[in-house]
């Protein structure tokens, strides 16, 4: 019995490492937008959405689209693995399901690419006075689902870290990243409803960067405290 238990624990540790590796790679790929500083792109980082990087007709669309596909392809099985491997508490279950939805929505972002809209282009659905007519495209729906899903995952795992008194890295550094991302989100929501430009592009880049950092933090929690995650509930 002891030998079989040791084998099971070893397999669980290996599985947790695989899940963590998938989450780390996904987190890095989700910030592929940093490549805009190394590629010749006619995009203003201050006043542009990141979805414009892989919009229809963009010269490096495949680069950024591939990165998003990798994110989804890794997070979907990682979330399923997390549900199957770790104890099923209510908050962590919500977190893994939300992470699954985030991966699926990220792939949907690629399948529903943004149309390259100029200001005043009525075919995009927005009025000529709006700063971002792209908000009226189907791509905006998949992006909203993605952002909402990762937000739910972040809050669920953070609450779980405090409630179950585990995963110290999520309670400390993860909380800092959560606050940073929330501040950037509020910045975007408020500024988008005000006249003029309020550097929404910068706000979104901070938001996405915080998502990537949080994914890496989650992966670190899986690695550093994976043994606790595989223990049975008391």
Give the model's pLDDT for residue 176. 93
Rounded to whole angstroms, the maximal C-alpha distance in the chain is: 71
Alpha-carbon distance of 204 to 211, in angstroms, equals: 11
Does 174 map to a domain? yes
Q: Which two tokens stand for residue 221?
A: 């929690």
Of all residues in the chain, what percent carry a pLDDT higher than 70?
83
Alpha-carbon distance of 224 to 17, in angstroms, equals: 10
Q: Please check the confidence at residue 104 and state whether its pLDDT lies above 60.
A: yes
Compute the average pLDDT of residues 213-220.
Answer: 96
Give the model's pLDDT for residue 135. 54
Phi, psi of 147 (to 5 degrees): -65, -40
Alpha-carbon distance of 86 to 157, in angstroms, equals: 13
Question: Model's pTM, two decimal places?
Answer: 0.86
DSSP assigned state of 120: T
Does 158 map to a domain? yes
Q: Please check the confidence at residue 230 and state whether its pLDDT lies above 70.
A: no
Does 44 map to a domain? yes
Give the model's pLDDT for residue 41. 85
Contact 135, 119 (CB under 8 A): no
Give the structural domain span for 33. 2-115+126-229
Q: How confident is the model at residue 124 (pLDDT cuts 50, 70, 90)?
A: low
Alpha-carbon distance of 41 to 39, in angstroms, equals: 6
Does 234 map to a domain? no
156-183, pLDDT tens digit by residue? 999 999 998 888 899 989 999 999 999 9
DSSP state string for 46-105: GG--GGGGGSTT-TTHHHHHHHHHHHHHHHHHHHHHHHHHS---HHHHHHHHHHHHHHHH
Does 120 map to a domain? no
Does 100 map to a domain? yes
Give the model's pLDDT for residue 200. 87
**C-alpha gyration radius of the chain:** 19
Contact 112, 54 (CB under 8 A): no
Count of structural domains, the chain: 1
Does 110 map to a domain? yes
Give the model's pLDDT for residue 188. 85
Contact 172, 217 (CB under 8 A): no
Q: Which two tokens stand for residue 150?
A: 């990762």
Closest CA to 104 of 59, 174, 58, 153: 153
Within its chain, how far is the Cα of 117 from the centroid?
Answer: 25
Does 34 map to a domain? yes
Contact 91, 233 (CB under 8 A): no
């Amino acid at each position: 019995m002891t030998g079989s238990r040791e084998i099971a624990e070893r397999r669980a540790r290996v599985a947790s490492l695989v899940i963590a590796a998938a989450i780390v790679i996904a987190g890095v790929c989700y910030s592929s937008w940093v490549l805009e500083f190394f590629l010749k792109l006619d995009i203003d980082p201050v006043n542009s959405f990141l979805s414009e990087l892989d919009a229809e007709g963009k010269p490096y669309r495949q680069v950024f689209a591939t990165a998003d596909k990798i994110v989804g392809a890794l997070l979907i099985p990682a979330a399923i693995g997390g549900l199957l491997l770790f104890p099923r508490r209510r908050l962590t279950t919500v977190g893994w399901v939300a992470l699954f939805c985030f991966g699926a929505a990220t792939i949907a972002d690629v399948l529903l690419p943004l149309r390259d809209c100029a200001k005043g282009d009525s075919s995009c659905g927005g009025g000529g006075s709006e700063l971002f007519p792209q908000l009226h495209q189907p791509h905006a729906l998949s992006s909203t689902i993605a952002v909402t899903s990762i937000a739910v995952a972040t809050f669920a795992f953070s609450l779980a870290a405090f409630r179950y008194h585990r995963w110290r890295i999520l309670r400390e550094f993860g909380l800092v990243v959560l606050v940073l991302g929330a501040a950037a989100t509020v910045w975007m929501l408020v500024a988008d409803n005000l006249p003029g430009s309020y550097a929404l592009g910068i706000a979104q880049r901070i938001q996405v960067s915080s998502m990537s950092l949080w994914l890496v933090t989650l992966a670190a929690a899986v690695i550093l405290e994976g043994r606790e995650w595989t223990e049975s509930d008391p």
